[in-house]
Amino acid sequence: MNTIDHRFAKNWWKYLLSILIVVVYCLPLYVLVTMALKKMTDTSSRLQLPTSLYWGNFTELFAEGSIGRALLNTAIITIATVAIEVILGCMAAYPLARHRSRFNSLINAIMMGVMMIPPLSILVGVYSTLISMHATSTYWGMIIVSAAFGLPMPIYFFTKFIRTIPRSLDEASQIDGCNTLQTFFYIILPQLKPAIATIVILNGVGMWNEYGYSLYILQKPEMYTLTLTISQYFSSGANNLNGAAAAACVATLPMILMFLFLQKYFIKGTADSAVKG
Amino acid sequence: MKLKNGSTINLFYIPALILMLVFVAYPLGQAIYIAFTDWNGYSQHLNFVGFSNFFNMLKDGNLHTALLNTLIYGFGSAFFQNLFGLLLAVFLNSKFRGHSVVRTFVYLPVMIAGLIMGYIIYYFVQYDGGVFNEILGWLGQAPLDFMADRWRAVGIITFINVWQYTGISMVIYMAGLQSISTSYYEAATLDGANHWRCFWNITIPLIVPAMSTAVVMNLIGGLKLFDVIQSLTSGGPGFATHSLSTYISNQYFQAQNAGYSSAIGIITFVLIVVVAGVFNSFFSKHEIEA
Q: Is the pLDDT of residue A254 over 70?
A: yes
Instruction: Name residue A91's amino acid.
Output: M
Dihedral sign (CA A9, A11, A17, A23): negative
Q: Which one of A18, A180, A227 has the shortest CB-CB distance to B8?
A: A180
> What does the pLDDT look like over B103-139, one tens digit per residue?
999 999 999 999 999 999 988 888 888 888 888 888 8
Q: How many CA atoms lie within 13 A of A8 on its CB side?
A: 6
**B6/A contact by beta carbon, under 8 A:** yes
Q: In chain A, pLDDT over 70 holds for what percent of residues? A: 95
How far, in whole angstroms, is CA A142 from its chain's centroid? 15
Between A180 and B105, the higher pLDDT residue: B105
Question: What's the average model confidence in pLDDT over B28-36?
Answer: 89
User: Of A263-267, B33-37, B156-160, B195-199, which range is least confident?
Assistant: B195-199
pLDDT of residue B233: 86
Burial zone of B263 (CB within 10 Å; 0-12 exposed, 13-18 middle, 19+ buried) = buried
- Residue A194, SS3? helix
B252-276, pLDDT tens digit by residue? Answer: 888 888 889 999 999 998 998 899 8
With a CB cutoff of 8 Å and minimum separation 6, the contacts of A71 are A226, A250, A251
- Band of residue A277 on the pLDDT scale cut at 50, 70, 90: very low
Of B113-117, B145-149, B173-177, the range with the lowest mean pLDDT is B145-149
Task: State how far the Cα of A231 lies from the Cα of A238, in Å rounded to an integer.
Answer: 10
Query: Which of A121, A211, A230 to probe by mutation at the B interface, max B CB count within 10 Å?
Result: A121
Q: Is A232 on the interface with B (CB under 8 A)?
A: no
Q: Is B28 close to A122, i.e. CB distance below 8 A?
A: yes
Encode pLDDT of A130-155 as tens digits. Answer: 888 898 889 999 999 999 999 988 99
**Domain extent listing, chain B:** 48-286
Mean pLDDT of A82-86: 95
Task: Determine contact, residues A219/A138, Cβ cutoff 8 Å.
Answer: no
Question: What pLDDT, on a 0 to 100 scale, did the predictor assign at position B4?
Answer: 45
Q: How far is residue B50's CA from residue A177's CA, in Å, rounded to a whole number?
A: 60
Q: What percent of chain A is predicted at pLDDT more than 90?
A: 29
Supply the pLDDT for residue A236. Answer: 62
Cβ distance A208 to A146 under 8 Å?
no
CA atoms of A93 and A192, how far apart (whole Å): 11
> May I ask the CATH class of domain B48-286?
mainly alpha
Give mean pLDDT, residues B18-29: 89
Model confidence at A9: pLDDT above 80:
no
pLDDT of residue B7: 64
Alpha-carbon gap, residue B85 to B38, rounded angstroms: 45
Record: contact A25-B109, CB cut-off 8 A: yes
Q: For residues A107 and A122, what is the distance between their CA atoms, to the nearest angstrom?
A: 21
Q: CA torsion angle for B256, B260, B262, B264 (degrees, to 10)?
A: -130
- Architecture, CATH, for domain A58-274: Orthogonal Bundle (1.10)
Please give the angle made by the CA atoms of B275, B246 and A140, to the nearest 5 degrees.
95
Residues 6+ apart with CB under 8 A from B93: B174, B177, B178
Q: Does A118 touch chain B (CB under 8 A)?
A: yes
Cβ-based contacts of A270 with chain B (< 8 Å):
107, 168, 171-172
Chain B residues with CB-CB distance to A32 below 8 A: 120, 123
pLDDT of residue A136: 86
pLDDT in tens, B226-254: 989 988 888 878 889 999 999 998 888 88
The CA distance from B20 to A89, in Å, is: 12
Q: Using one digit for the tens of pLDDT, what is the confidence trace for B184-215?
A: 888 888 888 888 888 888 888 888 888 888 89
Residues in B 104-163 with any Cβ partner in A closer than 8 A: 104-117, 119-124, 129-131, 134, 163
Q: Is A151 in CB contact (< 8 Å) with chain B?
A: yes
Assess whether pLDDT exceeds 90 at residue B182.
no
One-character DSSP codes across A160-182? HHHHTS-HHHHHHHHHTT--HHH
CA B242 – CA B246 distance, rounded (Å): 6
* Averaged confidence pLDDT in chain B: 87
- Selecting from A47, A248, A263 the residue whose C-beta is nearest the C-beta of B120 gives A248
Rounded Cα–Cα distance for residues A68 and A83 (Å): 22
d(CA A209, CA A255): 9
pLDDT value, residue B6: 55
* Position A238 confidence tier, pLDDT thresholds 50, 70, 90: low
Instruction: Indicate the residue of A99, A122, A267 with minimum beta-carbon distance to B171.
Output: A267
Do residues B73 and B228 lie in contact, with contact meaning Cβ atoms separated by under 8 Å? Answer: no
- Is it the case that residue A8 has pLDDT exceeding 80? no
Q: Which residue has the higher pLDDT, A51 or A29?
A: A29
Whether B243 has its CB under 8 Å from any CB of chain A: the answer is no
Of A16-20, A49-53, A180-184, B201-205, the one with minimum mean pLDDT is A49-53
What is the reported pLDDT for B86?
93
Most confident of A210-219, B70-79, B277-286: B70-79
